Amino acid sequence: MALRRRLTTIRRMITRKRLAAGAWALLAALVAGLAAPAPATAADGPAAKEPPKVELVLDVSGSMRTRDIDGQSRMAAAKQAFNEVLDAVPDDVELGIRTLGADYPGEDRERGCKDTRQLYPVGPLDRTEAKTAVATLAPTGWTPIGPALLGAADDLTGGDATRRIVLITDGEDTCAPLDPCEVAREIAAKGIHLVIDTLGLVPDAKTRAQLRCIAEATGGTYTSVQHTEELSGRVSQLVERAADPVVTPVPLEGAARCADAPVLTPGLYTDREAFGEHRWYRVDVRPGQELRASVSIAADRPVDRDYGVLMRAVTVHGREIVRGSEAGDGRTDLISTGLRYPKAPSDDDVEASAAEVVCLQVSNSFSAAPGVPSEPGLPLELTVDVVDAPDEAADVASFGLGRGWWLLGLLVVVGFAAGLLWGWVSRWRVAVWRTN
């Protein structure tokens, strides 16, 4: 009897020790986890920049009923494009929508030329709310482009953020003598760095000239649109561009062969290229770097239906490395293409420090009817960037268990495992003692 009581007492003592061991292991894990360094955060970093602001100005005049865009009305095409654009707006862009000609259907010129209002305020985007507002629009009245631009400029006042107006219309202004081109010049003269981009839906010659003038007055771009996909793609591109810093292209002149070509560093360049001409430029690319280049050529005069643009990266010995090309058929204002060339790292120290000269060839297949001036050449915009290749080793090393909650979780598991193991060892020792 005394022996049995003694064994019971020993079992209780061992059980307490086992629980204590598990508790101490868990406590040690928690302490170690709390002591582990938390993931690094950017403390006392630079002040956050103001988010860029964009206002889309949409023509809702009566002419938007015309059915000549992909079998549907211009208004339906614009709504479809807006839905796609609103889905793709970057989170860091504040966006608003203004209409012109959306409310007054009558013949009173004075009232019709005041018909512009802000449909959706410039600010953080609620996509559902913005889409609902656009869905209610119906082609209605006049085309007061000048007043709409003035209203949009007021909507974007204040702060130092990048500001951009994107005007989508299918006709020229109907509210002269307030010339929208003069309005754009007045906005530019204020020095508020507000850019106006214009898109013409199936434009005629007068509309094209007016929209081009508005864009050029503020350093913006003009694009002619024939299809819904073109409209949504171009508007999305312009909205995304608002988040990029404004860069002034550097004028240069390409050469007839690579040996005489100018050497380019990362940046934005402008040149002019005659019909069917080849122009050469050079870029130095080191091992472990990637060359990214793109080119756009504008058709600033009437051209033949078939056209194309080609960009090639070539070695100094004439071997083609990579190419990019684009072609089209019909009316266009701009055609673009690009390429990427990653140069593999080298294990040789000498080769690793030596840059490779990459020759960039830009060609076009534009042609024009007799009588169309060939001088000056077509405007060409060339973008060049050289970036470091991704560091895979660094990416792998950054994933580990030596920080914060990863370490805490590991130590908790180890603590429980140690407690269970100690308990099993203790029970085995008791069993052995009883046997003996």
Q: Where are the domains of the chain?
A: 53-241, 260-391
Which pair of structure tokens corresponds to residue 354? 């030596």
Task: Give the end-to-end CA distance of the chain in Å, rounded to a whole number.
Answer: 18
Place of tokens 């089209």: 328
For residue 242, how many other CB atoms are within 10 A of its CB? 25
Range 260-391 has CATH code 2.60.120.380: yes
Question: Which residues have a Cβ under 8 Å from the Cβ of 410 and sit 6 or more positions away?
Answer: 401
- Per-residue pLDDT in tens (0 to 9) along the chain, 436 residues: 444 454 445 455 544 544 444 545 444 544 444 444 444 444 444 556 788 999 999 999 999 999 999 999 999 999 999 999 999 898 889 999 999 999 999 999 999 999 999 999 999 999 999 999 999 999 999 999 999 999 999 999 888 788 999 999 998 899 888 899 999 999 888 877 789 999 999 888 899 889 989 988 888 888 888 889 889 988 988 888 877 655 667 889 999 999 999 999 998 898 999 999 999 999 999 998 999 999 999 887 888 989 999 999 999 999 999 999 998 888 777 788 999 999 888 766 555 568 899 999 999 999 998 888 888 888 899 999 998 865 443 333 333 333 444 555 666 677 767 777 777 766 766 666 666 6
Q: Which residues of 387-401 are buried (b: 16+ CB within 10 A; e: fewer)?
A: eeeeeeeeeeeeeee
Residue 263 identity: V
Which of these, 400, 409, 401, 406, lies nearest to 26 by C-alpha position? 409
Place of tokens 């793709």: 88
Assess whether the region 53-241 and the region 260-391 belong to the same CATH fold: no
Decide the pairing of beta strands 378-388 and 267-273.
antiparallel
For residue 268, how many other CB atoms are within 10 A of its CB? 13
Decide the pairing of beta strands 320-329 and 306-314.
antiparallel
Please state, in angstroms and rounded to a whole number, the distance separating the CA atoms of residues 296 and 223: 13
Cα 23 vs. chain centroid, distance in angstroms? 53
Please state, in angstroms and rounded to a whole number, the distance separating the CA atoms of residues 76 and 56: 16
Please state, in angstroms and rounded to a whole number, the distance separating the CA atoms of residues 291 and 269: 15
Q: What is the DSSP string of 272-323?
A: EE-TT-EEEEEEEE-TTEEEEEEEEEE--S---SEEEEEEEEE-TTS-EEEE
- According to DSSP, residue 345 is labeled P
Place of tokens 């004075």: 110
Please state, in angstroms and rounded to a whole number, the distance separating the CA atoms of residues 281 and 81: 37
Q: Look at domain 53-241 and name its CATH class.
A: alpha beta
For residue 263, how many other CB atoms are within 10 A of its CB? 9
Please state, in angstroms and rounded to a whole number, the distance separating the CA atoms of residues 82 and 88: 10
